[in-house]
Structure 1
C-alpha cells in the first residue's frame, strides 16, 4: 500500500508537468528547489514560521502566497518563510524533526502513514474540504453516475487502480462489466476517444483538455461515498506543546484563512501573485493557473465555511476521511485531527 501511495503522489506531480507543458522548465528549477529546502533548526522563534509545501509553487498554494503578499501574516505579527517542495522533497520528515514548523501534504495518507510509523504529528486544517478525485468523461458522452461506468472502457493509472476498484465496490458497480485500460495521467486517450472516461482530478485533466477546446463532464467520487480531506495542514505535537510555537501556528492558520479568502475572491490576482513571486521561473501560464484555481475553488469551501471559516474540519469530514482511508488500507482515528488552532 505504501508503494501505491508513493506512486499516486509521484504521478500527480508528473501530471502537473504535463498540464503546464513546461517539463523542461520545472526540471531546470529542480536545482533551485533543492537549494530552498530547510536546512537549519526549525524551532519557532517569536513571530517566525516556516511552512513546507508538498510540491512546487502553483495556485494549489495561492492562499499562502496571497497571505504573504497582501500582509495577512504580517498583520498577525508573523514572518512566514515558504519552503517549496519538489521531486524527492518529502514533507513529513521535516515537520516530524521540527526542521520546519508546518507542512502541507496533498493527501492525508502521507501524514497517517508517518504517524503509524511513530511520528508525532497532527492534522490541524483541511485546505480541500472535498476530494477533487473524479471520473472525467467527454461532455458529449458523459459518465454521470457510478452505474454508468458499467459497459465502458476506463482509463486508469496504476496509482489510481486501487481507489477506482474501492469506489466501484462501494457503489455496486460490477468490475467484470468494466474494461480497465492502463494509462498515464495524460488525458490524451480520452481526447482521442480510446476510452470512455479516465480517473483524475477535477482541477487537472479537465483544465488541460478545456484549454484545447475539449469539453468534459466531471463526476466527483466524493459525491458517491468516497471523500477525504486533502491538501492538509499539519504540525508536530512538539509545536502544540510549546506555547510560543503553538501561538505562531495559530496565527499562521489565521493568516492562511485570510489569504485563501482573498485568493477565492480574485482568482486572477491569486494566479498573478503565484506566478510573479513564487513560480516566476517555472514556466507557469497565467490563463492556465486562473482556470486551475477556478476549478479547484469549489473543493476549498465546505458547508461549515460560513460559520467556522476555511480550513475547519467538521466531524462529518473527519469521519469520512477516516472511513475512506480505511477502505484503501490506511488506519487512522480521530486523534490524528484537531481543530484546536482554528478555534482561536
Structure 2
C-alpha cells in the first residue's frame, strides 16, 4: 500500500474487479448466528500495513466484539471505495485525509471514524553518497515522483519548502532509474521501498519521512457511510474498538496469526518483509505516537485536521470553501481503548 500513490478522486470511474475473500475463523465463545456480519475493504493487497485488521480476524478479536468480519482486499484494478459508496461494503480503509476532503468536495456521503496511522508513511529514499540529512537536502537531487504524488504531497513540498518541478522525473514503481543515479531520490513507503532497495542493491538508503517535516495527514483511516455511522453507531463503535485492539496485538503482541492470514491472502508476501514493516511502523511511530499515546490507536483531533486542511489549501490541493469538518467524526475515536496493551518499557 502506498497511500499517496493510491489517492483517487471520487469523480473518476474505475472498473471493479476481483472477488471478495471471507476472512473468518471459528469462534469458541460465540456462534456465527449471534454475530453481526461486517464487510471491510482494504485499498491494496494484503500486507503488514493492514496487519491490525487481519490480526483482529485471526485472533478472534472481532468475534469477541460480536462481529463476523469479511475482509475484501484491494488491488491494482479494484476500487473498494466505490463498493463502500454503493453499499456493497460496510467499511473501507481509506489511504489518507485527502480522500476524506475529496469526499466532501464531491458530496460523497462517507465519513472517517478513526485513523489507524498517526503518520502518513510517505518517504523519499536517497543514496548515502548524496549526504542527505534533512528534507531540504533533497531539493537539488533528481526526484522520482509518481503521477499521483505530483498533485498531492509534492504540491505541499513546493508550498512549504520551495521545491521545484524542474528536477522531477516520473516514478513508475521501478527502482532501477533511482539505483542508476546516485544523485537522485525516489518516493516510497517507509515500510517497503527501503527494504526493496536493500534487497536489490545491497545498500541501506537514507530515508526521509515527510510526516516528520509537517506533512500531517492521517493515514489508514476507517471510513463508513454516513447512514451507517448515524443509524448503527453501536456497530461502528464495536468495529473501531476491535480494530484498535487488533492493531495493539499486531504491533506489540504475537502477530503470527495476523501474518499467517496475510500470507494466505497474498502468497507473495514474505516473512522478512512482514517483520521489517512491523519494525519500521514501531521505529517511526507510524501507528502509535502523538495523540494515540494518550487517546489510543485510532486517535484523531480537530486541531490536526484543521492544520492539514490549511496546508493543503495553501498548496492548492483542496478548495478553501469546502467544510472539511464533515469529512470525519470524533464520535468513535479517542476513547483510550487498548492503551493498557502498550508495553510499559
Task: Check whether TM > 0.5.
Answer: yes
CA distance, structure 2, for counterparts of residue 8 and residue 276 of structure 1: 23
For residues 320 and 299 of structure 1, the distance between their equivalents in structure 2, rounded to whole angstroms, comes to 18
2:75 paired with 1:86: yes
Match of residue 338, structure 1, among 314, 329, 332: 329
2:87 counterpart of 1:98: yes
Alpha-carbon contact 2:43-2:74 (below 8 Å) kept: yes
- For residue 35 of structure 1, what is the aligned residue in structure 2? 19
Q: Which residue of 2 aligns with 1:302?
A: 289
Q: In 1, distance between residues paired with 2:141 and 2:50?
A: 36
Q: Select between 213-222 and 316-325 the one with higher mean Cα deviation.
A: 316-325
In 2, Cα distance between equivalents of 1:6 and 1:133: 7
Change (3 A) 1:165 1:106: closer
Q: Give the drift of 1:225.
A: 2.5
The structure 2 residue matched to 1:254, chosen from 216, 219, 241, is: 241
**Which deviates more from structure 2 when the two are superposed, residues 211-220 or residues 155-164?**
155-164
Say whether the 8 Å CA contact 2:114–2:222 is kept in structure 1. Answer: yes
Change in Cα spacing, 1:150 to 1:71, as seen in structure 2 (3 Å) is closer
Query: Equivalents in 2 of 1:91, 1:321: separation in Å?
Result: 25
The change in CA–CA distance for 1:152 and 1:84 in structure 2 (over 3 A counts) is closer
Structure-2 separation of matches of 1:343 and 1:230: 16
* 5+ long unaligned stretches in structure 2: 9-15, 23-33, 336-345
Whether the 8 Å contact between 1:227 and 1:324 is mirrored in structure 2 is no
**Would you say the 8 A contact 2:56–2:258 is kept in 1?**
no
1:316 equivalenced with 2:306 (yes/no) = no
Residue in structure 1 matched with residue 130 of structure 2 by the alignment: 141
Does 2:62 correspond to 1:73?
yes
Q: Once the two structures are superposed, what CA deviation does each residue of 1:208-267 show, in whole Å capped at 9, x if it has no partner?
A: 11234320111112222222111111111111221xx22111101111111100110147
Larger helix proportion of the pair: 1
Counterpart check, 1:130 vs 2:119: yes
CA distance in 2, matches of 1:112, 1:335: 8
Secondary structure at 1:160 match in 2: coil
Residue matched to 1:164: 154
Whole-Å separation in 2 of the counterparts to 1:7 and 1:124: 20
Structure 1 residue runs without a partner (length 5+) = 12-30, 39-44
**Structure 2 Cα separation of the partners of residues 6 and 217 of structure 1:** 20
The answer to whether the 8 A contact 2:21-2:71 is kept is no
